[in-house]
Chain A
Amino acid sequence: MSNDSTKFTRLPATDAERDDEGRATRAEVLDFWDDRFGVPPETFADHAFWERGAGKIWLSRADPPSPVDVEGLGMTFLRTRQEHWKPTLEAVQRFGEHATENVIHLSEGEAEAFVAGHGQDLDWDGDWGYLVVTHDLAGAPEPVGVGLYVYGELRSQVPKGRRRDLDG
């Protein structure tokens, strides 16, 4: 018996094409990035979205038949099948430059603390939840990763394996 959690399956385009109730659709993924971060849907016009394992969404320009049994397909992109969908650090570093909403800009010291994995008490007038975190690099704002803002605190969501002490 095949174990489907090891295979990548392309997301259905819309609700009408969906046969797994829990699976997100391409339309929902595009809406999420548009509604939450103001990233225009056409940003992803050349990419397909895939699910492997419950709620782990990958984005890829490589375009194999679906389902496909490979070890990796493009980059991890989004977690669904939970109350609040959560973008990955990789997705935000690559596509976060298009975000216009729920973007928090950090000073150099704050950005270093964020990458080291520390939570920080910061003022934020916008929505609580997952934010695109940016800092200045080479003279322009650049997305670093995903933060979770709740109760006056920006919690770093940098995965443990990606954390770095950059101030040394």
Chain B
Amino acid sequence: MELPDRYRPIVDDFEAFRAACQRPLPSVVRVNTIKASVADARAALDEADIAAEPVDWHDRVLVLPDAPPGNNWPYFHGWIHGQEEVSAVPATVLDPRPGERVWDACAAPGSKTTQVAAMMDDRGEVVASDNNLGRISALRSNTERLGATNVAVTHEDARNHSLKPFDGATYDCALVDVPCSCEGTIRKNPDAFDDWSLSHVKGISGVQKGILARAVQATDPGGTVVYSTCTFAPEENEAVLDHVLGEEDCELVDYDLPLTHRDGITEWQDDEFDPSVAKAKRIYPHHNDTGGFFCAKLEVTG
């Protein structure tokens, strides 16, 4: 695994970073409050002799130190859902409210979609899009198992998202958790770097720019768009934000994140980015014992 050397200039305590990337991740679940309270889910896990520990930054996320989350009663009932701890960040930053219309641009397999639905108390409307039918079937089965009824699933490339099925209605906010090179999932997928290439990183950043631009266009002025990836590559993170800031009516806004993180970087190799990309947040595996993640909050100004 050669690649993390690429990030030596931007990651503090690089040896700790590299060591963390080689440790497996603990199992983590999110309690699905559409179907159960946190207290009920913990009681059901306890009945099944499954140890569960809360995390301090999110009251619906539990670490299961000894068990994979899949084969137990609370999972079967849709009371819990396996979801990596940092994957719970973007919906939390989006902070959708009951009754709103929300677009989840790259929704499958649906962990964040169902988290958004639960935060909305299963009210309003979540339009969840994906461009892959196989992944849409996983999205649909997760939505159903978790009992979310406010989700409409569409099959399309998010860059060309159509408002037509909903008579042109735009969104109060949008979650843009784009396909990426997944470097930050190395602890879950030890082969995450096997197919890594700079040309893939650069190619996928073009897709990411198109999806984020479409989300800004489809969201009402004053609305929020959250952009996230599970990768460290600045080409897929700050460079995408920098591009869309120049093309669309939006600006980056600061937000609180009660997890140890670093600011977005404003320089990478030969590139300089808009200084406001520092408001984005980088989450590294060695700081919170999680996967790696990147998350930015934008406000639509247009």
Contact = CB atoms under 8 A, between A and B. Distances in A.
A142 B77 contact: yes
Contact count band on B: 35 or more
A138 B166 contact: no
Contacts of A165: 71
Interface in A5-63: 46-47, 59-63
Contacts of B76: 115, 144, 162, 164, 166
Chain B facing A: main interface SS: mixed
B234 interface: no
A68 interface: yes
B72 A64 contact: no
Contacts of A68: 152, 165-166
Interface string B102-128: 000000000000000000001111110
B35 interface: yes
A28 to B, nearest CB: 20
B128 to A, nearest CB: 8
Q: Which of A72, A94, A162, A166 has the most CB of B within 10 A?
A: A72
B217 interface: no
A63 B140 contact: no
A72 B165 contact: no
Interface stretch (B142-150, B188-196, B264-272): B142-150
Contacts of B165: 64-65, 68-70
B71 A168 contact: yes
Contacts of A142: 77
B143 A72 contact: yes
Interface of B: 34-36, 40-41, 43-44, 47, 71-74, 76-78, 122-127, 136, 139-141, 143-145, 147-155, 165-167
- For the complex of A and B, the 10 pairs showing the least CB-CB separation, nearest first, are A72-B153, A138-B43, A61-B150, A74-B149, A94-B147, A62-B125, A71-B153, A62-B152, A138-B40, A138-B44
Interface of A: 46-47, 59-65, 68-76, 90, 93-94, 115, 137-139, 142, 144, 161-162, 164-166, 168
